[in-house]
Structure formats: C-alpha cells, structure tokens
Amino acid sequence: MLLQHAAATGAHPLSDTVARFVWLLPLLPFVGFVINGLLSLTSAYKAGPSDPSAAHDEAHAAVSHESEEHGAPGDDHHSIARHRSAGLVSLVGPGVLVLAFGLALAIFAAMRGVGEMHAPFVQQYFSWMPVGDLQINAAFQLDQLSMVMVLVITGVGMLIHVFSVGYMQDDPGYPRYFAYLNLFVFFMLVLVLGANYPILFIGWEGVGLCSYLLIGYWFSDKANADAGKKAFIVNRIGDFGFLVAMFMLFANLGTLDFVSVNAAASSLGAGSVLVTVICLFLFLGCAGKSAQIPLYVWLPDAMAGPTPVSALIHAATMVTAGVYLIARSNALFSLAPSASLTVVVVGSVTAIFAASIGLKQWDIKKVLAYSTVSQLGYMFVAVGSGAYVAGMFHLMTHAFFKALLFLGSGSVIYAMHRAYHHTGKHDDAQDMRNMGGLRTYLPITWALMWAATLAIAGVPPFAGFFSKDEILGSLFARHEGSALAQAHFLGIPGNIVILSCYVLGLATAFMTAVYMTRMMLYTFHGPNRTGDREREHLAEAPWVMTGPLVALGILSVVGGWFNLPGIIPAGPVGVLEHWLEPIVGESTLRLTNGAPAEIAHSTELMLIGVAVLIALAGIALAFVRLKPERLVPASASPPEHGVEEVLLNKYYVDELYDAAIVQPIVATSRSLLWRGIDVGLIDGLTRLFLQSKDDDSAPGAVRMGGLLPRSLGWFGSQLQSGQVGTYAWVLVIGMLFVLGAFSFR
Amino acid sequence: MLPEALFFSAVLFVIGVVGVLTRRNAIIVFMCVELMLNAVNLTFVAFAQVYGVAGQIFVFFVMTVAAAEAAVGLAIIIALYRHRQTVNLSNINLLKG
C-alpha cells in the first residue's frame, strides 16, 4: 500500500533512488518495538543461565533492586534476573537501529548523488484529515535538514542501543526497555520526517510519551514515577503553545504543510504582530520540549531514568526537537525579528542559569543534565540569531560529546554499582563525593570523557570548539545592521540585547569549562573515596559498552570537520553550511538584512582567541582552585551554606513553582472546590430541604439530590412494558403521525 | 386495473395490521405479519405493470426474506412454547422495564 502511493510523488530526482524507501526508516524501529514489546509480555523472569543458585538470586534481586535507586545492573557473578529472551532482544533491539542507520547512509549517499536539490522529496501515503479546507496528508518529507537529523538519530541512537545491551543486560525488564527505546526512535524519526506540522506533532507527542515511560522505567520507586509525571505535565504547557501556533497558522494560511507554509509565510507580513505571536507560541512549545526557561525544570529530574536513556533522549535527540522545529520553521522566524530576539535572550539566559547550577551539583548525572540545558540554550541562541546552520551544527556535535559524557558516566555508575553490589554496601553510586581516582580503574572511560570535556568546553580542535565558536561569532556579527539589531526586546534596542547575550554566552563558556573540569577532577582524579573493600571491585565495563564510547569519542574529536569555518582551512570548509543552504540560506539572509554573515577576519580571529582563552582559563581555574583531596564521602560531608547552598538547591526554582503554582491549585481544589462547593454548597442545600424529617448526614442528603433523575428514570422505564402488542401500537401510531405529517404538510 | 389492485392490497394490509394489534396468539400475529408482507408484494406487482419490471424483482427479494423470517420466527415460537408452555404474547413480558 505504501509503495503505490509513493509512486504519486512524480518526478523528483530522488524518487528513483533508494530514498523511495524512506518510510522504512521509521518502520524498522517500529518492528523492533513490536517484537520486543511482545517478548516483554511473554514471560516472567528467570535467573541467569550461568548461576546455579536461582533461589538465592531471586531473593537477592528483590533486596538489591529495591535499594538500587538508579539501578544499574548487577554483575557477572550474580545475575539478578536476566530475561529469558534477552538474547533475541539484544539482537532485535540494536539490530533494527543498525539497519536503519545503514538505510539512512544509503539515502544520504543518494542525496549526494543527485546534486543540489531545491525542493524537498515528499512522499504522500494517504489523506489523513480531509475536513473542509483542512487537508492533512500522512506524508514524509526528506530534505537536507531532516537528513542531518535522521543521521544523528539513527547513528547516535545505534551506538546507545549497543551500549544498553551491556548496561541493562541484567535488568528484569530488558525487553520492555528495548521496546520503549525502539518506539522512541520510531517517533523521533516520524518527528523529523513529517511533511507537515500535525505529523511532526505526532512524533513530538510520541517522543514525549516514550520519555515519560523511560524516565519512570523503574516505576516501583515513587520518585522515578513522579519525575516521569513532571516531565509529561511540564511538556503539556509547551504543547499548548505548539497547538495554538498550529491553529493560528491554519487560520491564516489555510495549510499546515511545510512546503506551502514556507511559500505562503511572507503573506503574513514581515515583522507583523501576527507572525510574531505565532513564532512566540511555537517557541513556547520548543521551550517545553527543549527544556528552556521557564519550562526547564523537568529535564534534571528526568535523570531518574536509565543512563543510556538520558544519553539518547535527554541529551542527544529528543530535547533537540525544539531546535529542529525552529530551524524547520525558519521562514516564519526570519519574518519575526523580535520573536527571534526573544529566542536569543531566553536561550542565553537559560545557558548561563543552568551552567551556574551545574557548578555545584554533586550527582554526576545532574551536572550533565544542567550542562545539557545550558548547551540547548546555546542552540537556541544560534537559531534565534538566524544562524540556523550553527544551531544544527551544535546540535550535531553536542549529540556526539554529550552522548559520550552520559554513556561515560553510565560506565562509571556501572562500575560503582558493581563494586557496591559485591560488598553489599548501599550508597549513592552517582554522587561524585563517593568516587574519585577512578582514572586508574577506568582508564578508557577516563580518556574518552576528557576528550568530550575538552569538546564541550570549546578547546580546539575538538568538535565543540567549532560549533560554539560559530554560534558566538554569528551572534556577535548580528549586533549591527541586522534585522535583529533593529528589533526590540521589552523596549531595549536589539544591538544592546545582542551584545549582552554575547557576554552571557562567553560567561557560560567559562562556567562550562569550570563545571566540566570539576566533574572530571572529582570523578577521576585525586584519591579514591569509594571505600576500602569496594575499591578492588572497580573495573572497566565490557567492550559492548566501551566500544560505543570509543566511536563517540572519535566523533567528538573530529566532529568539527563537518563544518570548518573559512578562517581555519584545515580541510573542506563549511560542508554543513553548504548542505543546509537551500533550506535556511534565504531566511538567514533575511535576518541579516541581506548582508552575508561575515565579519572581518581580524575580528573573527580575536573572537576565537577570546573564546579559547576563556575556556582554557576555566579549566585552569578549576585545576587550581578545586582540591579533590579534600573531599569526603557523601555520607560524611558537612551541609553547605551561602551561595553554594543556593546553587545546590537550584536557586529554589522547584520550590518557587511549587509555592506559586502547585500549592495554589491544590489549595483551591481543597478549600474551594471540595470544602466550599461540594461540602458547603451542595450538601448544605440538600441538608436544607431535609431539615424537617431526616438527619443531616451527608450521604443521605446527597441522595436527595438524586431524586429528580431517579423519578425521571422511573417514568421512562414504565414505557417499556414488555408487551409486544403495546410496542406494535406505538409503532403504528407513530407511523400514522409520520404519514399524516407528510400528507398535510 | 391498478386502482383495484391497490385497493385490494390496502384492505389486506389493514387486516394484517389489525390482526397484529388485536390478537394475542403469537402464531396468529405471525400470520398477520405475513399477510402485510404479501399485501405489499401485491402492490409491487401492480406497480410493475405500469413502471417496469423492477417491482417484480423486488417481490422475489421480499419472498426470500419472508421465507427466512418465517423459518426463524417459527423456530423462536416453538422454542418459546417448549420453555413456557404458552404462545400467548400477554404472558411474555420478561423485558418489562
């Protein structure tokens, strides 16, 4: 069926190539989801095949699993509860991703083969919502932008799936885990391949669902389930914005297809209030999905899920969907400079805000979570300032090094966990105060995580240096002459706003270098604080886990070559920029007021020099000031005071939201809706009527309120006599009425 | 010819309706329903003389369905009788509200 409809797309140069199998991309992980999902339903658990004493293991599993909050798996000697079909799942789960990545590479090669293509390759499958003027087709769209996303999703996703085989192998819910993970990749591919906003929205909601399912993967622990709910509810606020934006787009343009929206966008009027409002509502959706102020609060809590999930969903792919959405809607955002300026401001404020929290976290995953929020802020700075290429570039390099950092931390947690498991000690395996000196025990992880750290800090020639530098450079270039500089944010002229955001960006880069170096120092350097008996059990993870780390490490080092700046001609220059030019080139030019986004080479060199100096200064400061030798294990640490306490408690934003939003709702429900309306008004009224004869017990009184419906129901039931003759009479009389009505009309 | 045939079938139909409405014996009610069906059949045939053969084809359909209905209906009545030892519709009111 799919193929027949695909033929309708006609004469696009890609339609005769392997790209016509683009529908297979999401289908493959979906098949994996179905198989793994069925396997997860088939059976209960079974002790590992290597271990003879199953009964002992089951008991052990019950105890250890409950206590293992962040539940990394057990170890080779004590299989906790390896699933019966774990072998098949390990084949299917990562297998479908390998196939999908292979297909993505083939399609990419085909796209390179047809040369420059100016129209996206759209495949229509069926008409989904043909309602009046609203024509929404189930259709996929393949263009340069979605191709980049597809490669990142399937490529990084594949590595993380392989890593998960090692990380999750002893978890009793192994098939369920891979079912969710495959489903996530399916929805993510639908998101980036959708040819219109509603299809994108399906993927958007689908990845939200999978995120919820995987955050609460260890749902028997209430904190994890709560974190999942928090993510889901906060994202609803953003989705409201996205939906309103879609409604407004349809109401004003009459279409929701990307191609037609882009073509018709200029009819909304450049800089008009309408397009600005649409863009701001779209950005609200992005702020929810991509964890920007004020909706970022769910992402740090989302670390409750398994670590590979944090790497895939909450660092590399899903949270970048907002960046993708803005890049996809570049025609709209370039028409609304003030909305774009808002994106820049929110992005840069989020970046520095989250980075400052990251300075003081003790949980290794929390550091990385705030780092992710901060780096997403950078991406929004880029797409907001019209540097869509830089945004996508940073999205890509960030996917490499942040996935590496998360998987590396997963490897650390895995090692810590096994050590604790051996001796039966129950301590926090994610608290950096319990680590230290892991370099000698985990040398591969140590080296690779340093590569990622240098990448994220922006040290040349690692990947993050090029992307971050391009963002800051483009932002700086906008401060004069561009449409952004002429716009206003809350009455402040754009050029001042842009320069302040640039300073914020530099400060964020400094903090990034500091907190990342801090994390590395506390985790891998100095003396070990894990415990004397546990220390000897610390060891590197198996190759199925370190292998993906190595691959990501290579990408983190050479990722910059995907888009070298013209000023550093160490290879082909601006590959990604050239690749994305047909999609975003026009919009970037519109935001820069036609001027190419070039700044003088001397200025650019100076900017690069400043950025590198700042990064190195951050690393050096961390090395000089932080003393891992002075740390004590978490259980023995004194409480903190002053600024440190504020940062550790994340500026009390969660508490603020709780007091300002959650508590008022709960209080209103309790005092007004329950005590006031239910008990006071309804029960009070019924009590009034009953005063004379009955007691004032609420249930009896409420039953009075049901008297009217009950008596009406009694009359109704009398019509049904059970006598066929009566029914026949009613039928005949009714028929005579109808006939009479027709005759004497 | 047509008015006479229509008059005759109307009379037949009314007899059927009155039978269905007044009688209590399920068999007789059933026969009256058949009478109504055949009254309609007669109308179809009569109109077929004027407007073409479609009416006659329709009669075949009605007869086929009526035959099936008779089989099912009689089976129900027999089952009912075995169960309750009566076919008086007044006594059959289990679905009373």
pLDDT per residue over B25-79, tens digit each? 999 999 999 999 999 999 999 999 989 899 999 999 999 999 999 999 999 999 9
- Identity of the residue in A717, A721, A728 whose CB atom sits nearest the CB atom of B20: A728
Is B12 among the domain residues? Answer: yes
Q: Indicate the pLDDT class of residue A325, thresholds 50, 70 and 90.
A: very high
Q: Would you say residue A408 has pLDDT above 90? A: yes
Is B27 among the domain residues? Answer: yes
Subunit contact A725:B90, Cβ cutoff 8 A = yes
Subunit contact B97:A716, Cβ cutoff 8 A = yes
Rg for chain B, CA atoms, rounded: 16
Question: Which residue carries 């990622």 as its tokens?
Answer: A452
Coil vs helix vs strand at A488? strand
Is B96 among the domain residues? Answer: no
**Distance (Å, whole) CA A219 – CA A208:** 17
Between A76 and B92, residue with greater pLDDT: B92
Coil vs helix vs strand at A272? coil
- Packed helices B54-84 and B26-51: angle between N→C axes, nearest 10 degrees: 180
- Which of A51-55, A538-542, A714-718 shows the lowest per-residue confidence on average (mean pLDDT)? A51-55
pLDDT tens-digit map of A143-184: 999 999 999 999 999 999 999 999 998 888 899 999 999 999
pLDDT score for A634 = 77
DSSP secondary structure letter of residue A84: T
pLDDT score for B13 = 95
pLDDT, mean over chain A: 86
Q: Which residues pair with A678 in a beta bridge?
A: none
**Distance (Å, whole) CA A661 – CA A116:** 51
Subunit contact A728:B96, Cβ cutoff 8 A = no
Q: Is A722 within 8 Å of chain B by CB? A: yes
Q: Is A716 within 8 Å of chain B by CB? A: yes
Residue A285, number of CB atoms within 10 A of its CB: 27
pLDDT score for A82 = 74
Q: Do β-strands A121-131 and A488-489 pair in parallel, antiparallel, or remain unpaired?
A: unpaired
Which residues on A lie below 8 Å from B24 (Cβ)?
Answer: 725
pLDDT score for A701 = 55
ipTM reported for the complex surpasses 0.85 = yes
Beta-carbon contacts of A625 under 8 Å, excluding residues fewer than 6 positions away, are: none
Is B95 among the domain residues? Answer: no
Q: What's the burial of A514, exposed, middle or buried (CB within 10 Å: 0-12/13-18/19+)?
A: buried
Q: What's the burial of A726, exposed, middle or buried (CB within 10 Å: 0-12/13-18/19+)?
A: middle
Helix ranges (DSSP H) in A458-537: 463-477, 483-486, 494-524, 532-535
**Distance (Å, whole) CA A496 – CA A485:** 8
pLDDT score for A99 = 95
Alpha-carbon distances of A307 from A234, A365, A404, A410, A479, rounded to whole Å: 21, 8, 11, 5, 40
- Which of A44-53, A118-127, A189-198, A465-474 shows the lowest per-residue confidence on average (mean pLDDT)? A44-53
Cβ–Cβ < 8 Å for A195, A122: yes
Torsion of CA A90, A95, A97, A98, to 10 degrees: 130
pLDDT score for A173 = 87
pLDDT score for A650 = 84
Q: Determine the distance from the C-alpha atom of residue A30 to the mean position of all C-alpha atoms in its chain, rounded to a whole number.
A: 19
Residue A142 backbone phi and psi in degrees, to 5: -115, 120
Encode A178-218 in three state secondary structure: HHHHHHHHHHHHHHHHECEHHHHHHHHHHHHHHHHHHHCCC
Is B93 among the domain residues? Answer: no
Amino acid present at B19: G
Report the number of distinct structural domains present in chain B. 1
- Packed helices A321-328 and A144-167: angle between N→C axes, nearest 10 degrees: 170
Q: What pTM does this model have?
A: 0.78
DSSP secondary structure letter of residue A537: T
pLDDT score for A47 = 44
What residue in A sits closest to B24 (Cα-Cα)? Answer: A725
Amino acid present at A474: S
What does A431-451 look like in DSSP terms, one character per residue? Answer: BGGG---GGGT-HHHHHHHHH
Coil vs helix vs strand at A158? helix
Q: Is A729 within 8 Å of chain B by CB? A: yes
**Distance (Å, whole) CA A628 – CA A631:** 5
What residue in A sits closest to B94 (Cα-Cα)? Answer: A722
pLDDT score for A483 = 85
Alpha-carbon distances of A357 from A311, A369, A380, A431, rounded to whole Å: 20, 10, 19, 16
Cβ–Cβ < 8 Å for A314, A277: no
Q: Which two tokens stand for residue A119?
A: 């129209």
Q: Which of A143, A50, A51, A32 is nearest to A96 (CA)?
A: A32
Is B40 among the domain residues? Answer: yes
- Which of A238-247, A583-592, A608-617 shows the lowest per-residue confidence on average (mean pLDDT)? A583-592
pLDDT score for A56 = 39
Is B43 among the domain residues? Answer: yes
Which residues on B lie below 8 Å from A721 (Cβ)?
Answer: 93, 96-97
CATH of the domain at B24: 1.10.287.3510
Which residues on A lie below 8 Å from B80 (Cβ)?
Answer: none
| CB under 8 A, 24+ apart: contacts of A569-576 | A570/A461, A576/A148, A576/A389, A576/A392, A576/A393, A576/A396
pLDDT score for A738 = 95
Is B61 among the domain residues? Answer: yes
Q: Would you say residue A554 has pLDDT above 90? A: yes
Helices vs. strands in chain B: H and E counts, helices first: 3, 0
**Distance (Å, whole) CA A355 – CA A626:** 17
Q: Indicate the pLDDT class of residue A209, thresholds 50, 70 and 90.
A: very high
Rg for chain A, CA atoms, rounded: 29
Give me the domain span that covers residue B70: 2-88
Q: Would you say residue A361 has pLDDT above 60? A: yes
Q: Is A643 within 8 Å of chain B by CB? A: no
Which residues on A lie below 8 Å from B20 (Cβ)?
Answer: 728
Subunit contact A722:B97, Cβ cutoff 8 A = yes
pLDDT tens-digit map of A644-654: 788 888 888 88
Q: Which two tokens stand for residue A479?
A: 């401060």
pLDDT score for A74 = 38
> How far does the CA of residue B75 sit from the closest CA of chain A (Å)?
18
Torsion of CA A512, A517, A522, A528, to 10 degrees: 160
